[in-house]
Structure 1
Amino acid sequence: MITFFHNIRTVARYEAVTLRRSWFFRLFAIGSFVIFTFLNIGLFSPIGDESWELVSIPSSVPLINLYILNIVQSIVVIFLAADFLKRDKKIDTNEVLYTRPVSNFEYITGKTWGILKLFIGLDIIILFIALLMNIISKDMSVDLVSYLQYLLIISVPTIIFSLGLAFMLMQIIGNQAITFLLLLGLAALNMFWLYYRMGSLFDYMAFGLPVFKSGIIGFDNNQLIVNQRLMYLLFGLCLVMATILTFKRLPQSKLQTTLCYVLLFLSLAGTIICTKNTFLIYKRNLNERKLIIETNRQFESQDAVTLTDAKIDISHSGGEIEAEAALCFVNENKTGINECFFSLNPGLKVKQVYHSGQEIDFKTVNHIILVGLPAMLQPGQKDSLTITYAGSIHEAFCYPNYTGNIKDNPYMIEMLRVNKRQAFLTKDFVLLTPETHWYPVPGLNYYPDNPARMKIDFTNFDLRVKTTPGLVPVSQGIMKKETEIYTFRTEFPLTGLTLAIGNYLSDTLTVDSINYITHYFPGNDYYRNEFSELKDTLSLLVSGIMTELETNFSSEYPFNTLSFVEVPVQFYSYPRMSTQTRAEIQPSLVLLPERMATIRNAGFRKQKARQKRRMARSNTVITDKELEVRLFNDFIRNTFISGENFRFVNGNAVNEPVRYRLSPSFYFFKNNFYSHDYPGINAAFESHLQKVASPLPSGYQGMDRVMTDNDQANLILSRYSFRELLSKNPASDTIRQVLTVKGDYLFNLFRAKAGIEEFNDWFKKYLDDHRFRSVGIEQFNNDMIEKFGFGFYPYLDNWFESKELPGFIISNLQVSEIVVENRVRYQVTFVASNPEPVTGLFNISFRTGGAGPQGGPGGRGPLMMPGGGRGIMAISRQGRGMESADISKIVSIDSCEAKRIGLILDAEPRAMMINTIFSKNIPGQLIIPVNEIGRIKEGTKPFTGEELLPSIPDYGNPDEIIIDNEDSLFHISRQIDNSPLKKLLKINNNQGNTYLQINNMYAPEHWQPVVQSSYYGRYILSAVYTRAGSGNKEATWNAIIKDPGYYNIYFYVGKSVERTMVRGRAMGPGGRGPGGGGPGGGGPG
């Protein structure tokens, strides 16, 4: 036995020495030392970037080092492992081993251990460099255990599997080049295609496997990590054993052969078991989601009661809860019911159901509880039930329409993938949100045939919690402690109840009768030191921010408390079609990630240092208190008011509001409009009413070369009706864009018919009068008729069912000075027509002269971005949200109708902006510069209002033949990529199928359609462009010429940007603007 291990050590030592002398390994090792030294200095040291997303959680230090190193290392291992059999043939390198009595088992095992030891040693050195930076950093603590954990989780299985596979392939194929090709192909396939398939089953290098470790709960997916990584570790050992048995040397002893077969069998059996467990984790989630959807489909047409009061008594022990829920409900349906149903998380099992103190029969269908009532419950009648239940939580229930695929809706901190969790139920920590249905809820969490439908009940909650000593529960309402029981009683009806349990510490700040409470874990209140100067002014800052919020939403904050609760970083809510509100925001409560790890500007110490350096460079003097005020205000606004995340997901630009916006507190959690016929109408209301002005428009669309949200939504709605779109379960970014357009259209319609100020004032009061109540859309329609004599219900069919869009042509803009009441004012007139068969509307605003060259009082124009050609592109939010002071007029035009519009302005207009909202016009924001201002004779009566024209003007010119790039007579050559590999992997490149903004830095290889307001078009102001080539990319205009003769031929060639305007400031010469799609527009494209 001693000789056995001695031989293995001898081979391993010799192999390690041989590899260390290899220039290939030396270059790799030296390169790794240099690169990772600078990488760690740049990421984690005080002189580096210290991105808060990485430094906030200490386990990210070893993770990001081994994550990057493992990718390169797995490729290097392939070359070294496949190379040793070739080296064996050289007498001068391995003859010393062949002269010794070394068996195949000892030889291959020694080779494997030698290579493994060498690479693990390299990993340890890299981790030591990372540890030094970890210790030096002022913002990080040290998690020593995670260094060892990630070494075992990431590096060891990858190296063992790579070695075993390389050994086996060399034995089978015997050709080093082919082996390299196959193994490199497998590595590339893993990184680009396999890593997200079947729950990361094929991800041998842990490229996409979520292994992020929380500082609160540690690893949250232990079962998946252990089984998936053991699977590749054991499979690698299995391949090593197979290599030993097939290795072409002298036969070894029967004992070692037997041992090899036993180890082969055990490792193969372990591989099969771990593979099965990994696959079952994936399959179990899919099956459960499928079962939930099928069950919901059975009950989605059944009427549900409305929950008015709930008294919940819950006991937490280990990984389970036991609860009793006393529920009071009312029948608000139009017909009586004799059976009611409730939805409860399928991990919780019902024990008994009581009615009036008597146990009654019930039936469960998966997560549905069916209870027969003793008597028919008529409309308006109330009743009550008590349900006892116990168990755990199944998270697949929360969002059954999502598959859980890590590639869809990726959740990442920098390049590190984080597991997405919707609930936690462990012995040390609990987080249960309303989405988990941890208490019985009447109705369904998801309606398969109507995914935009959502049942919202405003309920009074009374909660009693018993948990392990040392843990503190947190929930909404007034908390009291009675011996070992914590009680919570809500002051207002809520849309749902959240419960968190942990070793929380709390701080409270009372400002203007609102209690601001922070619940955090010990040691995570790092922000205290960074805002030490704000102790005497914090109340004023908080009061000012809340006042700003209330002004933006034209509504008071409806609750007496606002709690900020720290939760593990893995908590993540999926977007829903039925609402724009995420689960991170609950009534009077915000769930923030531990140490605010996913919030970029939460690294206050580093931000403060950067600001000071910036001030020093610009010779600006600022006190620490002023700097802290600035940092605090920026953080609050970007996190809770108007922040947005702009990122690329799977090659597509996605722009989403941050998950912690407080806007739902001002509408979604206090008002609800519902309709069974038009689901999604509350989400459309919500999208409009919760809109706030951002510091910059949605993710700098002009800079990032993507279309505005409004234009993207209109292109989608030109192909699908709202109902059709909802049935297709679109992406979250798509549904958000469409809901915004649909909501903006409805509210602009209301304002157009009722009057802008009149509707705004009435609707604000209407929301306050119906606070914490659900209002049917029919009732709201009747109230509108009673107040304004206008009903919108007839418009809803087209709003929901039709995919026909109006189209507007704006022409003949004229601006003249006019004297009105002894004051010089400005008469604006233009003609607007809608040739399409559906009614449409648009709103008008102006950029007017004043204090600056392009702005001033009343000059609330949108941000201007450079466009290709002669014009500019604008992004406007006019007409969004309850603040509509930027709108001068809203115009409604029926189908096939034209109007002459007149307005009187106090200030000199520089440009007129038409926001077509919901139309065929692309861009939907038309910017028409005012190039000339005339004069009107004194005594001329000013024209304001709308004048219906007898017919739509003829915008054509009989002496012109115009072929636009949107016409069927225009053709461009398309290059088709017939790559078999791309077809196999289903990789589709963008070949100019979608509109973008022109990119002046990089031209595409194909003909790319682009939109700008400077281009020509009936509705779509577009052109196509491409980079210079060899002449194989053609654009062809075909014209039908009826009469022979001589014709002058013109075509449009765009020039580079000549003008950039940002916030009303212009640079460089101006260019001619568009005519809104009519004859005054740019040249044909």
Structure 2
Amino acid sequence: MDGKIIWYVALHEMRTLRKLLRTHIFTLAALFICTCYFLAITIAHMQEGTEIPMFSAISPRYAMSLLSGSFLALFCTGILLLTFDQVKRDEITRIHEVVSSKPATNFEMFIGRLLGVSTTMAIPILFFLLSVMTYGLIADKFSIKFGEPVEFWSVVSFVLLDMFPNFLFFGSLVVLFSSLFKSRMLAMLLTLSGLIAIFWINSRLPLHLSKPMQTVTGNVLFPSELTPEVFTPVTLFNRVALISMSLGMLHWASNFVARVVPSRSKNLVVGGLSLGFGLVLIATMFGAQAFENNRINRWVEVHDEHFNPSVFPDVHHIRGSVEIKPGRTLTLDLKLDVTVDVNQDTDFILFSLNPSYHISNLAVGGVNVNDHKFKHGLLKIPQRYFNSDVNELAITAKGRPNSRFAYLDTVSTLSKVIGPDVRQLRQLGTENAIFHPSFVLLSPGIKWYPTSGTATNEDAWELRKRDFFTLNVDVSVPRRWLVAGPAKRETLDGGKRAKYRFEQSNPIPEFALVGSRFESASIEVEGISFECLYAESHRRKFEWFSIEPDEVIRQRITWK
């Protein structure tokens, strides 16, 4: 394969497309539709964002998550319109004999022309993205109410991972159909039907099934300024599969053109291998997804089977230390004061703990426990270690919490969410916890610390008593990090790391920790402290209130 020949073919195709009226009509129409979509989101956010919480997520900043699928489907349609009659155009312009006499192979001709079409469609969408990003920066700089900056990394992932793989895939599909069928219109309609079907299915499949098929990064990754991600392994493998299948279809299409080539059998074999590799890769991702879903369902089954409130301990107090190494590990060294009903005829006392931990030490009342069982997120401690008084349970564990082990009661409910509601579910958030190198959110639902009883039927308070406890925990994080917790933060001497203490004397049912390189804004009113932690990138938003906050608030009330 000669890259120089492919590039020359691509340049020739781009020059040809510039002369076609349909290219200009479609480009203008597509840009108009994209602009209308973007304006609709911006207007809705400006008018309703302060009154309807959902519209705070439906904003220009997160436009790539909301609209990237629509943008991509629209411009993929343009790829079909400009590709389906390539061979017919050559015959009309009487250039097909000249093209056939060139040393380029059929495959090089196809991939070069498809590259030319893709570049022709990429230019207007890149122009549109650059325009809205520039306007967003201007609106933010001059505090214009209409508009805000689009999250940068969501645009990067769209450009690098979404545009060309999708353009190549659907373009290759229409090239193959055009080679197989005499009717070019039939080839385009079949490909267009496939395009609509794929994007329609991806927008309606349940979250636990759709990821291996998602061809749009915005449907998998919600844009974030605190934890930006360009891709996940699933999206990367999906794009590799798309490109592999595209190359396979182009190799096959090379055999069905009028031009005779000596490498027909080679094209069939290489095309079959490429197409097969892509399909196997997608099937493997579905298999991995099914394995993960089965594991979650197994967690639910095990916890439901062991649901017996009579063997659930009563946790009175939690103390100890938590060491957070963001993105790597979480180390617990905790002591729990618990009481149990020793009169119950049972073998084990049950706790829930995230299954990704490795327990290095476990003791009850100073006696090491070596015959405990820890599997499927269920910690079983023999009852004989406990007495009728308050028992001290000491546990040391280390690991990276699995965020899928969370809110097990909702697994069945979420799996039934299909259709348009899936998009709303994505906007509300799909992560149970965040353990990113620059941001950590440890929600109580992932059981990152030991909790009483099973992790299912937690809201069945008519069957199980809700557990309340007091707290005295030291949290160690990287330097310059701040942590929000269940009580007022007390700074300790942590050496090379930042260390904070959270002491809560009022009983609480659960607690979470949130940490990052936050900035702090606080005020004390009549002995009550109010604090807001915010990222440095959001500092300018808070400085707006810092000059004369009372006057600014009055203005905001007047505006409404």
Instruction: State the secondary structure of the residue aligned to 1:347.
Output: coil
Per-residue CA deviation, residues 647-667 of structure 1 (Å, 9 max, x unaligned), is xxxxxxxxxxxxxxxxxxxxx
- The aligned counterpart of 1:175 is 183
SS of equivalent residue, structure 1 residue 100: coil
Moved more, 288-297 or 173-182: 173-182
**Whole-Å separation in 1 of the counterparts to 2:61 and 2:279:** 28
Q: Report the Cα distance in structure 1 between the residues aligned to 2:188 and 2:458, rounded to whole angstroms.
A: 49
In structure 2, distance between residues paired with 1:389 and 1:57: 41
Counterpart-to-counterpart distance in 1, 2:386 and 2:464: 25
CA distance in 1, matches of 2:46, 2:506: 48
1:441/1:205 Cα in 2 relative to 1: closer, same or farther (>3 Å)? closer
Taking a change above 3 Å as real, the CA distance of residues 72 and 408 of structure 1, as seen in their structure-2 partners, is closer
Q: 1:281 to 1:432 in 2, by over 3 A?
A: farther
Alpha-carbon deviations, 1:709-761, whole Å to 9, x = none?
Answer: xxxxxxxxxxxxxxxxxxxxxxxxxxxxxxxxxxxxxxxxxxxxxxxxxxxxx
Give, in angstroms, the shift of residue 247 of structure 1.
3.7
Q: Does 1:294 align with 2:222?
A: no
Q: State the alpha-carbon separation in 1 of the partners of residues 131 and 396 from structure 2.
A: 55
Write the distance in 2 (CA, Å) between the matches of 1:352 and 1:367: 16
What amino acid sits opposite 1:294 in the alignment? E
SS at match of 1:149: helix
Shift in alpha-carbon separation, 1:174–1:113, aligned structure 2, 3 A:
same
SS at match of 1:492: strand
Which of 253, 266, 269 is residue 277 of structure 2 equivalent to?
269
Distance change in 2, residues 1:172/1:145 (3 Å): same
Aligned match of 2:555 in 610, 614, 627? 627
2-structure distance, mates of 1:528, 1:218: 22
Cα drift, residue 343 of structure 1? 0.5
The farther-off stretch of 386-395 and 169-178 is 169-178
Change (3 A) 1:365 1:430: same
Per the TM alignment, residue 39 of structure 1 is displaced from its structure 2 partner at its CA by 5.2
> Within 5 Å, which residues of 2 pair with 1:109-258?
109-138=111-140, 140-141=148-149, 144-197=152-205, 199-200=209-210, 203=213, 205-206=215-216, 209-219=219-229, 222-252=232-262
Deviation at 1:272, TM superposition (A): 2.5
Following superposition, the deviation at residue 367 of structure 1 comes to: 0.9
Give 1:166 shift.
1.3
Pairing 1:437–2:447 present? yes
Structure 1: distance between partners of 2:121 and 2:230 = 28
Q: Which among 24, 27, 38 is matched to residue 26 of structure 1?
A: 24
Local SS of the residue matching 2:114? helix
Is 1:279 aligned to 2:286, yes or no? yes
Indicate if the aligned counterparts of 1:196 and 1:208 stay in contact, CA closer than 8 A: no
1:526-580 CA-to-partner distances (Å, cap 9, x unmatched) read 5435545764x5xxxxxxxxxxxxxxxxxxxxxxxxxxxxxxxxxxxxxxxxxxx
**Counterpart secondary structure, 2:362:** strand
Sequence identity of aligned pairs in percent? 17
2:313 alignment partner, one of 290, 301, 305 = 305
* Whole-angstrom distance in 2 between the partners of 1:463 and 1:284: 36
**Matched position secondary structure for 2:324:** strand
CA RMSD of aligned residues (A): 3.6
Distance 1:630 1:353, change over 3 A: farther
Q: Alpha carbons of 1:201 and 1:355: their partners in 2 closer, same or farther (altered >3 Å)?
A: closer
Among 294, 316, 322, the alignment partner of 1:314 is 322
Deviations along 1:419-473, one digit per CA (max 9) or x if unpaired, are 5101011222211121111111111221399698565211011111222223222
1:472-511 residue pairs with structure 2 within 5 A? 472-484=482-494, 485-511=499-525
CA distance in 2, matches of 1:100, 1:375: 85
For 2:438 and 2:432, the matched residues in 1 are separated by 17
Question: SS of the residue aligned with 1:112?
Answer: helix
* Letter matched to residue 216 of structure 1: L
Distance apart, 1:34 and its partner CA: 3.6
In structure 1, runs of 5+ residues without a counterpart are 538-622, 635-1085
SS of residue paired to 1:520 = strand
Deviation at 1:487, TM superposition (A): 1.6
CA contact 2:10–2:115 (8 Å) conserved in 1: yes
User: Against the structure 1 CA distance between its residues 62 and 185, is the aligned structure 2 distance closer, same or farther, given a 3 Å change threshold?
Assistant: closer
| Post-superposition offset of 1:243 | 2.0
Give the match's secondary structure for 1:136: helix
Distance 1:54 1:33, change over 3 A: farther
Report the Cα offset of residue 210 of structure 1.
2.6
The answer on whether the counterparts of 2:45 and 2:58 sit within 8 Å (CA) in structure 1 is no
Alignment of 1:539-618 (within 5 A): none
Structure 2: how far apart are the matches of 1:451 and 1:266? 56
Contact 2:342/2:383, CA 8 A, preserved across alignment: no
Is 1:517 paired with 2:531? yes
Change in CA separation of 1:291 and 1:221 when aligned onto 2, cut-off 3 Å: farther
**Counterparts of 1:281 and 1:448, CA distance in 2:** 29
- Are the equivalent residues in 2 in contact too, given 1:424–1:430 (CA < 8 A)? yes
Q: 2:76 aligns with which of 49, 70, 74?
A: 74
Moved more, 475-484 or 438-447: 475-484
Cα deviation digits, residues 657-695 of structure 1 (max 9, x gap):
xxxxxxxxxxxxxxxxxxxxxxxxxxxxxxxxxxxxxxx
How far apart in 1 are the matches of 2:21 and 2:449?
65
- How far off is 1:300 after superposition? 0.5
Higher relative contact order (CA 8 A, sep 6+): 2
Give the TM-score, by structure 1 length.
0.45
Match of 1:347 among 331, 335, 356: 356
Do structure 1's residue 407 and structure 2's residue 418 form an aligned pair?
A: yes
Kindly tell me: are residues 253 and 297 of structure 1, through their superposed partners in 2, closer, same or farther at Cα, counting changes over 3 Å?
Answer: closer
How far the C-alpha of 1:18 sits from its partner, in A, is 2.2
Provide structure 2 residue ranges, at least 5 long, that are not aligned to the other structure.
Answer: none
State how far apart, in whole Å, the 1-side matches of 2:26 and 2:203 are: 25
Residue 479 of structure 2 corresponds to residue 464 of structure 1? no
Task: Give the superposition deviation at 1:268.
Answer: 4.4
Q: CA deviation at 1:282?
A: 2.6
Q: How many Å apart are 1:491 and its aligned residue?
A: 2.7
Contact 1:458 1:494 in 2 (8 A): yes
* Counterpart Cα distance in 1 of 2:300 and 2:221: 29
Partner of 1:325: 334
User: Separation in 1 of the partners of 2:523 and 2:406?
Assistant: 33
SS at match of 2:331: strand
**Residue 48 (structure 1) shift:** 8.1
In structure 2, distance between residues paired with 1:135 and 1:50: 22
Displacement of 1:392 in angstroms is: 1.6
Moved more, 124-133 or 520-529: 520-529
Provide the secondary structure at the position in 2 that maps to 1:114: helix
Q: Take 2:184 and 2:471, find their aligned partners in 1: how far apart are those partners?
A: 70
Give deviations 1:752-781, integer Å, cap 9, x for gaps: xxxxxxxxxxxxxxxxxxxxxxxxxxxxxx
Alpha-carbon distance between aligned partners in 2 of 1:108 and 1:419, rounded to the nearest angstrom: 42
- Give the superposition deviation at 1:217: 0.2
User: 1:309–1:19: structure 2 CA closer, same or farther, 3 Å change rule?
Assistant: same
Output the CA distance in 2 between the equivalents of 1:336 and 1:29. 75
- The amino acid of 1:74's aligned partner reads C
Rg larger in structure: 1
Answer yes or no: is the 8 Å Cα contact 2:214–2:220 preserved in 1. Answer: no
**Matched letter for residue 343 of structure 1:** S
Q: Figure out how many residues of one structure are paired with residues of the other and give that number.
A: 538
Q: Deviation string for 1:123-150 (max 9, x for gaps)?
A: 2122222233223212545655543321
